[in-house]
Amino acid sequence: MAKTSRERDHQARQAKLEHVREQVASGQLVIREMTDAERVRWAKQRALSDAGSTPDERARRAAAIEQRRKRELRFA
């Protein structure tokens, strides 16, 4: 039976996550927490980006972030 696009997307995402897990396990990739200085830097970048955005663009970006968060929780 043919898979739906959602199933194909989910399968591709799982393959990518497995690849990242393998890289972390082998030491090829290191995932670390952001430093306080990095948080400040990226907060400034986000503020500059938001300053040039319309309310609709900000709303779309916030909705996309929320959707991504929900998807991660659903497939975790």
44 and 25, same structural domain?
Answer: no
Give CA torsion, residues 30, 35, 41, 43, to 10 deg.
100
What is the number of structural domains in the chain? 2
Question: What pLDDT score does 75 carry?
Answer: 67
Domain that holds residue 15: 1-31
Q: With 70 as the cut, is the pLDDT of residue 51 above it?
A: yes
Q: Cα–Cα distances in Å, from 31 out to 3, 24, 26, 35, 52?
A: 33, 8, 12, 12, 31
- % of the chain beyond a pLDDT of 90: 63
72 and 43, same structural domain?
Answer: yes
44 and 16, same structural domain?
Answer: no
38 and 75, same structural domain?
Answer: yes
Q: What is the pLDDT of residues 8-37, one digit of tens each?
A: 999 999 999 999 999 999 999 999 999 999
